[in-house]
Structure 1
Amino acid sequence: MNHHGDQAGLSLVELMVALAISSFLILGVTQIYIDNKRSYAFQQNQAENQEGGRYTLLLLQQELAKAGYRRRPDIPFDEAFPASNALDCDFGTGRAAKQFGTSQNAICIRYQPHNHLERDCLGNLPVNAAAIEDSPYTDAGEIIVERLYLDGNTLMCQTAHITSTTVTATGELVSGIADLRFEFGVGTASDDRRVSKYIATPDGPVLTIRYTALMRSSNPNLREGIDADTALDNWMNVTGISAEDTTVAALKTADKGNLYQISQSAVMLRNLLP
């Protein structure tokens, strides 16, 4: 009499089929994880660009709008703002907003503190805060100069509080900026209340300042199938920079597949309007 026991284990064919199915499942789950991780990184870096661009525009609008403020509007600009070379800005008599040297990503402004709580771009109060609080509607005896400029990928601010002495300070404001451009909206001799053009070096009454920031994500390798030329094409179109410009070459060299976003706005210099 023959006795047959129950089957134990798996056959080689069954084992190979199970391994094949498991491999496909593992590959599918891994691909889903990679896609979700890439999508999350893309969204996070886009949000980083958006928040950085929004903060940059708000900060510049807040600071640039102060240019030319006088506590006593009955005093002429030439008297309120004498010629000065504070922070190497080389202000002419009566000038309160200008390009810094020949740099298109640096600007100088100056103004008088509105009150004793007026803070500069670094959060510093006026040096004459106590005297200003006790004597409203009078000359503050103080001029605040700010130089806003791009250093590497960081928007910097340097300040000078000019009284009988000069107190200076420097600090970082916003990071993640690949490039920054300032343009001045100027009028004409016949119509000094309407912007006729935007230029880097003002040659007439300055009415507005336009600023354009190119934000760059902190994480690399987020673009697929898009080279640096294509990614920076809109920036060149908006700013009018040629492909041969040294700035474009530097941007391409620093590019590591990052994400970019352009943020642009303008502020009317109401204190300087005729």
Structure 2
Amino acid sequence: MITLLISSFLILGITQIYIDNKRNYIYQQNQSANLENSRFALLLLEKELYKAGYRQLAQDSRDFVFKSSSTDAACPTFSAGQIIRPTTNGLGVCFRYQRADVGERDCHGDLIANDDPITIRIERVGSDLNCYVNGRGQTMLSGLNQITFEYGVDLNANRQADTYLSASDAASANNIVAVRYASLHESESANVALNTTNYNYPLANATATTATDKKLYKSVQGTTTLRNIAP
């Protein structure tokens, strides 16, 4: 009887260790995925936005290179010389550039076919972050809970952002020189955290939000200056 009791306790102990280890593994996997997705989102946005407004020949005016265009139906029509605009739904950003050389690839990893300017749209669709090239889309990452874009406008013609506007306020702006973005990433598994967690979104928000579930959340933000914006 005593032997049976000891055996039962041993089995219970081993089972509990297995459950704890499995829970810890799932937690670590989801935490790692959140970190990787958040870093990739920042790298993608920074890398692509750095290209906005690039012209092969710097002496060519923006109006000459970037003509009036409506290549992507989800982007507002670009007027001549206009480089960057919020998407029509406010969930993403649209911008244009020329390839730097014949070996340059777009956000899909495809070679850019010619020297014609291409229109890039980076936008949240559901829980995915998609990148579109002239209207053709591809999912870059999943697990995106929210994303926000703000647009730095130059009020003094010195190529520096004097104030940041929301997507709706920047819809008609022609003097955007920087983009600030914040993204909130969530774990794939629904019951990972032991308790509900708090997060600040955007990071600059002093008031924390309490999650309504037991997912893990990761909030990140960044700012990219549009270095190719010049008269």
TM-score, length basis structure 1: 0.74
Aligned to 2:79: 92
Paired residues, number:
225
Question: Equivalents in 1 of 2:99, 2:3: separation in Å?
Answer: 77
1:26 shift after superposition = 2.1
Partner AA of 2:50 in structure 1 = A
Aligned to 1:71: 56
Aligned to 2:188: 218
Partner AA of 1:157 in structure 2 = C
Q: Residue 120 of structure 1: which of 95, 100, 106 is its match?
A: 106
- Listed as ranges, the gaps of 5+ residues in structure 1 are 1-14, 129-139, 161-167
SS in 1 for 2:113: coil
Q: Contact (CA 8 Å) 1:153, 1:177: kept in 2 or not?
A: yes
* Structure with the bigger percentage of helix: 1
Q: Contact (CA 8 Å) 1:110, 1:143: kept in 2 or not?
A: yes
- Listed as ranges, the gaps of 5+ residues in structure 2 are none
Q: What whole-Å deviation, never above 9, does each CA across 1:158-205 have from its counterpart, x for those lacking one?
A: 212xxxxxxx522221122121111112221x3533322222233462
Question: Equivalents in 1 of 2:221, 2:147: separation in Å?
Answer: 10
Please list, as runs of the form range in 1=range in 2, the aligned pairs for 1:5-154 lying within 5 A after superposition: 15=1, 17-88=2-73, 89=75, 90-103=77-90, 105-128=91-114, 140=115, 142-154=116-128
Aligned to 1:186: 153
Runs ≥4 residues deviating over 3 A: 236-243
Q: Contact (CA 8 Å) 1:236, 1:242: kept in 2 or not?
A: no
**Bigger radius of gyration among the two:** 1
Query: Does 2:155 correspond to 1:198?
Result: no
Aligned to 1:177: 144
Cα RMSD for the two superposed structures: 2.5
The 1:239–1:184 alpha-carbon spacing in structure 2 relative to 1, beyond 3 Å, is farther
Partner AA of 1:22 in structure 2 = S
Q: What whole-Å deviation, never above 9, does each CA across 1:201-231 have from its counterpart, x for those lacking one?
A: 33462221122121111112011221xxx54
Question: Equivalents in 2 of 1:74, 1:122: separation in Å?
Answer: 29
Q: What whole-Å deviation, never above 9, does each CA across 1:72-110 have from its counterpart, x for those lacking one?
A: 11122122212211102211221111101141x211010
SS in 1 for 2:221: strand
